[in-house]
Every structure is written in C-alpha cells, then in structure tokens.
C-alpha cells in the first residue's frame, strides 16, 4: 500500500533567486528549473516524475516600485499558465498552499538547499560539474518574503553544474517538498539548444497583456498580426520553423538607463548619440515612427523625444488601473511585446530585457538582421551582439 501511494503523491520543488536579480534574469532561472522539471516529468523513475515545480510569485523586485506590504503577484498575471504547463508541471504558490498539508496555516518544507559557488573555482580553474554539502553557508539563510513558511532541514550545497543535475539529490531523499535557494547558481544544460527553446517558446505572455499590446500596436503603430505576418498557432508545440515575419511599420528600441548609466558608463550612449543612431536607421528604413521602450526618467524621455522631433515618437504609458493590477512587470512585458513586433529592433547590449525581446522575435520568425542590433557607445564603438538563433 505504502509503495503504491508513493506513485501518486506529489512531490514539490520550490525555488528562490538572489533578491537583487531583476525580472528577466529571473525568467532565465525559471527556464533552467523548468527544464529540470520537464526532464523529471518525462522520467520513468517514480521518485522523480511526481515533482511539481512551484512558481515563486513576483514580489518586491529591486527595480520595481512597491509598497511597504509585500505583494505576491501570481505568474498567471504575466504568463499563459496553460502554455507553461505543456512543457513542465508547474503550479502557482497559492495552489501549493492549498494542496500541501499545513498546520495552523504554517507550511513546513522538508528540505532547503542553499546553493553557493565553490570558493576555489576561480583559483584552481576547476569548472567541472560537482556538488558538495557544506557545514556552513557563506551567507545567512533567508528565502521568500513569507512569514508562514519554515523548513525541517537546511543544507548548504556548493554547486557547479546544470540545474538538471539537481535531480541526483532528489533520488537520495524521500522529502516531499524541497526548496532550492539561490537557484541562479545552477546553469543551463545546453544554453540555446532545442530544449532551451522549447522552454522559451512555452513561456508565452498572458492573453490580457498580449491584448493590451495588440490594442496599442493597432491604434498607434498601424501594426497587427495578420498584416505583419506574426500570427502564431494557439499552442507553441505547433509552431513551425521559418522566417516569414515582416513586422509593423516602425523601428523599436530598448534603451536601458538607470543602473546601466552608473555601472556601464563607457558603453552607455548619450541621448544625442541615441537620437543620431535612431535617425540613421529611420532614414534607411524610410520610416517616420520609433517606439521607445525604456526605464529612463520622464525628463530623459522628453529630452530624447525633443531630439527626435522630426519623427513620431511612441511609448506605452500604462494607466493607473493597469499599474495597480499588473505593476511595473506588466508594463515591462507590454513594452517587450511591442518591441518584438517591429520591423526592426535595436536593443541595449548585455541587457536580459533586450535578450527576451530578441528571443521572441526569433520565435515570431524575423530575419535575424532585423533583431540582433545594439546601440553603439558615444565614441562609435559598436558591441558585438551575440546571435542566439532559434533551434527546433
């Protein structure tokens, strides 16, 4: 009886990410973990194929404006959960709370593993995959923002290797809930490979946000999927290779400012230089409209607009009602969707925000030359943009 039950009872894999990491790096960490969950789901081993991946809600990200009281935004606000579930068995945190046994509304997780880098990795140059339990963690343990979650056992795990290697840990324990803390330490198994792209293709944005972006494209940019040749099938598994997308008649830019201006002083172009680069491309394309996605201040945006006053400068300004529901993350996704439908795109070098736009353009089937372009610095130094072509 006991053995039989084991086949049916769910196991839960939770994860958390280093608090300062931003939205789009977190999505990359999700992809690493969802590939792990996908492979365990497909495994014939009953110790592995019962795992559900619990999605950590979006909360207090450093780049986002937030209130003093923590907010827990479910993934369903931003992403199409049904689409994610076709790749990996994911559930929302609130579903975990409903399903998982709890006493007096307190949840006890069986085992927590806090991942940390091997201290000797750079000194010895040993970059082989390995993991080793340590007696002491390099930093204090903390996870999530929940006060009603505690854990039975805590481990520190020095780790180097892909997230998929974590399944080895789960074979040696009967724990029904396991939290991987600092999941960003784990890596991709094959970055840019077929399974990576399946995880990425399944990560579709929520219908509500796609609709908000579609309305903006139609009203302000003369862009719609039929004319732009960017219609995708309802299910990502039915997508076919091909570069047929034309895109809407506008140039889109992603201009990362704020912390980039402080930490990447030499690489960040001045607004004057941005305006010159935009103008050159608009002339070449024979377009008069540029869509600007940016985290720049209102003042900077106004300066840029006045430098580009010969052209139509468009940007998405969320309403109060939109912001109160979707917060900064929703506005970021609408910007990303609009950028991914433009005839031509220029992004910010080494911004994960830009990477997610480039990936979506690959999925939509744009010519790669219209996608992998980054702003050059003031001195005319143009970064080598990595081209990550889609693989089916």
Judged by CB under 6 A, does residue 352 bind ligand GFB?
yes
Which pair of structure tokens corresponds to residue 367? 């010519």
Closest contact distance (angstroms) between CB of 287 and ligand GFB is 20
Judged by CB under 6 A, does residue 294 bind ligand GFB?
yes
Choices 70-78, 150-158, 217-225, 346-354; region in contact with ligand GFB by CB under 6 A: 346-354
Closest contact distance (angstroms) between CB of 185 and ligand GFB is 16
Nearer to ligand GFB (CB atom), residue 351 or residue 377: 351
63-92 residues in contact with ligand GFB (CB under 6 A) are 63-64
Residues 6+ apart with CB under 8 A from 279: 308, 310, 311
For the question of residue 68 being annotated catalytic, the response is no
Among 119, 259, 288, 302, binds ligand GFB (CB under 6 A): 259
Q: Which DSSP symbol is given to 210?
A: H
Do 220 and 314 meet the contact criterion of CB atoms below 8 Å apart? yes
Least Cα distance to 15 among 164, 173, 187, 181 occurs for 181
- Alpha-carbon distance values, 303 to 60, 291, 298, 367, 376 (Å): 30, 15, 9, 32, 19
Judged by CB under 6 A, does residue 267 bind ligand GFB?
no
Determine the 3-state secondary structure of 325 from DSSP: helix
305-344 residues in contact with ligand GFB (CB under 6 A) are 328, 331-332, 335
Judged by CB under 6 A, does residue 353 bind ligand GFB?
yes
Q: Give the span between the Cα atoms of 181 and 186, in whole angstroms.
A: 10
1-20 residues in contact with ligand GFB (CB under 6 A) are 20
Q: Give the span between the Cα atoms of 263 and 183, in whole angstroms.
A: 25
Judged by CB under 6 A, does residue 293 bind ligand GFB?
yes
Q: Give the span between the Cα atoms of 227 and 232, in whole angstroms.
A: 13
Please identify the residue of the shown chain whose CB is closest to the bound ligand GFB. Answer: 22
Q: Give the span between the Cα atoms of 31 and 162, in whole angstroms.
A: 11
| Sheet strand arrangement including 289-294 | 312-314, 289-294, 248-255, 342-346
Q: What is the dihedral of CA 357, 361, 367, 371, to 10 degrees?
A: -10
Judged by CB under 6 A, does residue 96 bind ligand GFB?
no
Judged by CB under 6 A, does residue 300 bind ligand GFB?
no
Judged by CB under 6 A, does residue 60 bind ligand GFB?
no
Closest contact distance (angstroms) between CB of 333 and ligand GFB is 8
Least Cα distance to 148 among 105, 179, 84 occurs for 105
Judged by CB under 6 A, does residue 160 bind ligand GFB?
no
- Given 21, 92, 208, 239, which residue is catalytic? 21
Among 6, 22, 385, 391, binds ligand GFB (CB under 6 A): 22
Do 171 and 46 meet the contact criterion of CB atoms below 8 Å apart? no
Closest contact distance (angstroms) between CB of 160 and ligand GFB is 22
Beta-sheet pairing, 149-160 with 130-134: antiparallel
Closest contact distance (angstroms) between CB of 25 and ligand GFB is 5
Size of site (CB under 6 A) for ligand GFB: 22
Among 32, 188, 217, 256, binds ligand GFB (CB under 6 A): 256
Closest contact distance (angstroms) between CB of 376 and ligand GFB is 18
Query: In the structure, how many helices (H) and strands (E) does the chain have?
Result: 14, 11
Catalytically annotated residues:
21
Q: Which residues bind ligand GFB (CB under 6 A)?
A: 20-25, 63-64, 254, 256, 259, 263, 293-295, 328, 331-332, 335, 351-353
């Amino acid at each position: 009886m006991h053995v039989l039950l084991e086949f049916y009872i769910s196991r839960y894999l939770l994860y958390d990410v280093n608090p300062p990491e931003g939205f789009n790096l977190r999505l990359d960490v999700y992809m690493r973990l969802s590939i792990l969950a996908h492979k365990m789901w497909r495994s014939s081993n009953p110790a592995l194929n019962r795992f559900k991946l619990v999605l950590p809600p979006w909360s207090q990200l450093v780049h986002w404006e937030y209130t003093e009281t923590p907010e827990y935004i479910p993934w369903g606000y931003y992403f199409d959960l049904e689409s994610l579930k076709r790749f990996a068995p994911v559930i929302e945190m609130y579903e975990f709370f409903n399903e998982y046994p709890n006493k007096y509304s307190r949840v006890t997780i069986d085992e927590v593993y806090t991942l940390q880098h091997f201290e000797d990795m750079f000194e010895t140059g040993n970059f082989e995959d390995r993991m080793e339990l340590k007696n002491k963690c390099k930093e204090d343990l903390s996870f999530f923002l929940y006060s009603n979650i505690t854990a039975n056992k805590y481990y520190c795990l020095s780790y180097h290797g892909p997230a998929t290697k974590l399944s080895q840990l789960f074979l040696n324990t009967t724990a029904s809930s396991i939290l991987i803390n600092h999941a960003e330490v784990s890596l991709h198994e094959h970055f840019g490979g077929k399974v990576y792209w399946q995880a990425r293709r399944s990560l579709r944005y929520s219908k509500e946000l796609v609709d908000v972006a579609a309305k903006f494209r139609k009203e302000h940019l003369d862009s719609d999927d039929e004319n732009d040749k960017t219609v995708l099938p309802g299910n990502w598994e039915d997508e076919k290779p091909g570069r047929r997308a034309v895109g809407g008649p506008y140039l889109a830019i992603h201009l990362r400012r704020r912390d980039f201006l402080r930490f990447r002083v030499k690489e960040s172009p001045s607004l004057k230089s941005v305006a010159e680069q935009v103008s050159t491309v608009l002339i070449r394309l024979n377009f008069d409209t540029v869509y600007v996605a940016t985290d720049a201040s209102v003042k900077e945006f106004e300066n840029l607009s006045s430098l580009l006053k010969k052209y139509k400068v468009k940007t998405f300004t969320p309403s109060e009602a939109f912001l109160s529901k979707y917060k900064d993350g929703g506005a970021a996704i609408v910007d990303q969707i609009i950028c991914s439908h433009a005839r031509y795109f220029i992004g910010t070098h080494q911004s994960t925000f830009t990477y997610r736009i480039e990936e979506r353009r690959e999925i939509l089937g744009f010519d790669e030359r219209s996608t992998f372009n980054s702003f050059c610095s003031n001195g005319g130094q143009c970064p080598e943009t990595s081209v990550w072509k889609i693989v089916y």
